[in-house]
C-alpha cells in the first residue's frame, strides 16, 4: 500500500495494525529460489535428516534415534549423508545393520546420486550377489564375495526407490511440501521454482494451492523422462492442464502453483565424471582419458524437444553442468528461436559449472536466464580433490563465471538446489559475493574475478528469480514497490550499511531473518 518513512505511514495504522520495529534491520523483497526440490527435501526433513550432521558416528546415532522414536514405521527412510565420510565414498550395510537389524533402511546421499541401505532392505529388494547391475547404475559389492555391500549407485538407487520403497501417499507428499515451505519461509523465501515435479507431487501441490495451505508462489517444472521421446509432450500438456485454467496463467501475480515449466536434465555432474565436456576428462595425473561425460538427451533430440515445448508455451529449465552440455542447451534454444521466433517464455539453464567463453554472450542474445547455484562456487574438498584434477587447470578456471555472465548482459536468477546444499539464501549470497566458504572465511577466494557485488547478488535472488518465475508483472513479487504483492523478509541487520558487505568479507551467514510475509500474510515470525 505504501512505502516511506515511519512518520509518513503512521496515519495508515488502524486498530488491527501490527507495528513491527525493524530495530536497525532491513526489509528486503521476499527471496525466490529458482531451483529447489521442496517435496523431496521436506520428506527427508520429516524422517532421517542427516544433512546437518558430520561423520558416520553422528549419522548412525541419528538413524538409531529415529528408529527408536518411530517403532511403528515399517521403513526407515531419509538421507543427506556425504560420501567424504566413508572410504571410497561407499558406506556399508553392516554399520546400518548394527543399529537397525530388523527393519529396512534406505537413505539417499546428499547429492541424490546414490543410496545407503541395510541388509534387510537388500533382502526385501531381492538384491544378491547374483543380481546384475542396471544399465544406468551400479550395485557396490564386496570384492571377495560379490555380495552387495550396502551402497547403490545412480540407476540402482532410483530403481530401488521406485520399485521397493513404498510409494508416498498424497497426504505424505502434502506434509512434505508443508515442512519444506515452513523451512523456506523461515529463511525469507516467499516463492520458488520446483525443479522436479512428478505426477504425485503435482497432485499434492494442487491440493495445497486449492485450499490456501500453499502460502508461497510456486512454479513447477515437470520432469522430462530421458528414456522417452517427444511423445511425452502430450502427457506434459495433460499435467499442465490438470492444474486448472487460472494456474496456467504464468504471468499471474497471485500465490499458488503454476506447472508451466519442463525440466530437462541434459548431463550428470563433474565429481563422478558424468558431466558432459567438449574435451575429455583428465586422468588426475596430467594425462587425458577418453571419457567426455554423458549426454542424457542427445543434441538432436534436445533441440527437437526444446523447440516443441517452446511451441506449446512451456518454459524449459535445463540442467547443464559441463561445457558441452551448456553449448547443447544453448543450441537447443537457438533451434527453438529459429523455428518459432522470439517469445517471453524465459528458458533458463541451471548449474553452469564450466562455460566456454564464446558461449557466455549467447545467454543475453538468446534471452536465456543464467540460473546460478552460487554456494557451489567455493573451494571445498570435493572441488579440490574430485573436480579440479580431472578438469585440468584451463577448464578449472572457467567455473561458475557469474560476473562474466552478468557483464555480458545475461539475466541472473539464483537458487539453492536444496537439499543438495543449503537452502539459506544469505549463505548463498555470501558465497556469491566473496567466493569463500562461510565456515572458513580466511580461505582464499575461488576465482575472485567472478565475485558479484552485493547489489547484483541480492537483485538476482529477488528480482532475477521472480523474472524467471514470470512474477514480475505490476502486482508481482521480487521488488518492493507500491501495488505489488507484499512478499517481504525482515533481516536483523542492515546488510547494505557501508562496509558490512564487501567483495572481501560479507558475513551474511551471520544475519538472521526475523519475519517473513507472503502475499501480505506473516508466514514466519522468529519472535525476536
Ligand atoms: Zn536440482
Give 105-127 pLDDT, tens digit per residue.
999 999 888 999 999 999 999 99
- For residue 69, report the distance from its CA to the centre of ligand 1, in Å: 31
pLDDT digits (tens, 9 = 90+) for 33-77: 999 999 999 999 999 999 999 999 999 999 999 999 999 999 999
Q: How far is the CA of 267 from the centre of ligand 1 (A)?
A: 12
417 Cα to the center of ligand 1, angstroms: 5
Expressed in angstroms and rounded, the spacing between residue 15 Cα and the centre of ligand 1 is: 45
Tens of pLDDT, residues 279-288: 999 988 888 8
Name every residue whose Cβ is closer than 8 Å to that of residue 66 and which is 6 or more positions away in sequence. Answer: 47, 48, 76, 78
Residue 528 alpha carbon to ligand 1 centre in Å: 33
Q: How far is the CA of 22 from the centre of ligand 1 (A)?
A: 35
Tell me the backbone φ, ψ of residue 104, rounded to 5 degrees.
Answer: -70, 140
The rounded Å distance from CA 268 to ligand 1 centre is: 11
Q: Residue 205: which of 173, 235, 183 has the closest Cα?
A: 173
* CA of residue 114 to ligand 1 center, whole Å: 15
pLDDT in tens, 252-289: 567 789 999 999 999 988 887 889 999 999 988 888 89
Q: Distance between CA atoms of 251 and 415, rounded to whole angstroms?
A: 20
Report how far ligand 1's centroid is from the alpha carbon of 317 (Å): 10
Query: What pTM did the predictor assign?
Result: 0.94
Task: Tell me the pLDDT band of 248, cut-offs 50, 70 and 90.
Answer: very low
Average pLDDT over residues 298-325: 97
Mean pLDDT, range 311-338, rounded to an integer: 97
How far does the centroid of ligand 1 lie from the alpha carbon of residue 499, in Å?
34
| Closest by CA position to 273, among listed 410, 404, 392 | 392
- Per-chain mean pLDDT for the chain: 94
Q: How far is the CA of 287 from the centre of ligand 1 (A)?
A: 31
Q: Tell me what the mean pLDDT of segment 325-339 comes to.
A: 98
Instruction: Give the pairing type, strands 315-320 and 348-351.
Output: parallel
| Residue for grid cell 502460502 | 215
- Nearest Cα to Cα of residue 131 among 114, 164, 106, 156: 156
Measured in Å, residue 47 CA sits from the centre of ligand 1 at 20
* Burial class of residue 103 in the structure, from the number of CB atoms within 10 Å of its CB (0-12 exposed, 13-18 middle, 19+ buried): middle
Task: Check whether 439 has a pLDDT greater than 50.
Answer: yes
Separation of alpha carbons 457 and 433, rounded Å: 7
Residue 482, pLDDT > 50, answer yes
State pLDDT tens for residues 157-208. 999 999 999 999 999 999 999 999 999 999 999 999 999 999 999 999 999 9
- Is pLDDT above 70 for 250? no
- pLDDT at site 457: 98
The CA 139 to ligand 1 mean position distance, Å, reads 23
Ligand 1 center from residue 37 Cα (angstroms): 6
Percent of the chain exceeding pLDDT 90 equals: 85
Amino acid at each position: 500500500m505504501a512505502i516511506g518513512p515511519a512518520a509518513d505511514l503512521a496515519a495508515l495504522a488502524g486498530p488491527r495494525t501490527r507495528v513491527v520495529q525493524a530495530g536497525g534491520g532491513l526489509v528486503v523483497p521476499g527471496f525466490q529460489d529458482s531451483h529447489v526440490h521442496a517435496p523431496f527435501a521436506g520428506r527427508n526433513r520429516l524422517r532421517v535428516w542427516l544433512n546437518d550432521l558430520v561423520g558416520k558416528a553422528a549419522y548412525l546415532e541419528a538413524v538409531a534415534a529415529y528408529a527408536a522414536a518411530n517403532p511403528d514405521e515399517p521403513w526407515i527412510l531419509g538421507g543427506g549423508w556425504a560420501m567424504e565420510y566413508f572410504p571410497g565414498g561407499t558406506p556399508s550395510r553392516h554399520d546400518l545393520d548394527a543399529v537397525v537389524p530388523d527393519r529396512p533402511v534406505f537413505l539417499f546421499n546428499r547429492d541424490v546420486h546414490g543410496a545407503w541401505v541395510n541388509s534387510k532392505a537388500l533382502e526385501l529388494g531381492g538384491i544378491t550377489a547374483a543380481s546384475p547391475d542396471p544399465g544406468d547404475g551400479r550395485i557396490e559389492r564386496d570384492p571377495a564375495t560379490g555380495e552387495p555391500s550396502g551402497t547403490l549407485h545412480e540407476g540402482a538407487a532410483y530403481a530401488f526407490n521406485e520399485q521397493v520403497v513404498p510409494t508416498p501417499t498424497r497426504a505424505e507428499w502434502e506434509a512434505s511440501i508443508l515442512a519444506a515451505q515452513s523451512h523456506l519461509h523461515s529463511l525469507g523465501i516467499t516463492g520458488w521454482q520446483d525443479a522436479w515435479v512428478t505426477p504425485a507431487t503435482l497432485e499434492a501441490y494442487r491440493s495445497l494451492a486449492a485450499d490456501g495451505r500453499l502460502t508461497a508462489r510456486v512454479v513447477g517444472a515437470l520432469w522430462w523422462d530421458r528414456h522417452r521421446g517427444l511423445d511425452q509432450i502430450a502427457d506434459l500438456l495433460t499435467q499442465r492442464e490438470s492444474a486448472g485454467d487460472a494456474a496456467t496463467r504464468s504471468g499471474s501475480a497471485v500465490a499458488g502453483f503454476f506447472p508451466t515449466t519442463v525440466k530437462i536434465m541434459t548431463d550428470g555432474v563433474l565429481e563422478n565424471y558424468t558431466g558432459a565436456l567438449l574435451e575429455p576428462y583428465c586422468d588426475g595425473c596430467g594425462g587425458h582419458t577418453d571419457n567426455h561425460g554423458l549426454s542424457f538427451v542427445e543434441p538432436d533430440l534436445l533441440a527437437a524437444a526444446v523447440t516443441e515445448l517452446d511451441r506449446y508455451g512451456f518454459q524449459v529449465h535445463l540442467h547443464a553442468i559441463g561445457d558441452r552440455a551448456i553449448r547443447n542447451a544453448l543450441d537447443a534454444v537457438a533451434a527453438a528461436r529459429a523455428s518459432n521466433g522470439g517469445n517471453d517464455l524465459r528458458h533458463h539453464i541451471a548449474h553452469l559449472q564450466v562455460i566456454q567463453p564464446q558461449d557466455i554472450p549467447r545467454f543475453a542474445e538468446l534471452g536465456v536466464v543464467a540460473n546460478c547455484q552460487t554456494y557451489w562456487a567455493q573451494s571445498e574438498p570435493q572441488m579440490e580433490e574430485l573436480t579440479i584434477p580431472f578438469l585440468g587447470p584451463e577448464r578449472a578456471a572457467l567455473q561458475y563465471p557469474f560476473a562474466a555472465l552478468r557483464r555480458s548482459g545475461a539475466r541472473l536468477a539464483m537458487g539453492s538446489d536444496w537439499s543438495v546444499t543449503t537452502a539459506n539464501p544469505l549463505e548463498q549470497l555470501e558465497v556469491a559475493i566473496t567466493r569463500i566458504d562461510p565456515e572458513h572465511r580466511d580461505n582464499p577466494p575461488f576465482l575472485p574475478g567472478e565475485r558479484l557485488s552485493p547489489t547484483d547478488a541480492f537483485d538476482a535472488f529477488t528480482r532475477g528469480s521472480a523474472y524467471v518465475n514470470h512474477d514480475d508483472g505490476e502486482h508481482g513479487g521480487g521488488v518492493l514497490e507500491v501495488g505489488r504483492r507484499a512478499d517481504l523478509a525482515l533481516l536483523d541487520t542492515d546488510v547494505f550499511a557501508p562496509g558490512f558487505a564487501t567483495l572481501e568479507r560479507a558475513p551474511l551467514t551471520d544475519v538472521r531473518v526475523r519475519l517473513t510475509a507472503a502475499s501480505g500474510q506473516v508466514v514466519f515470525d522468529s519472535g525476536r
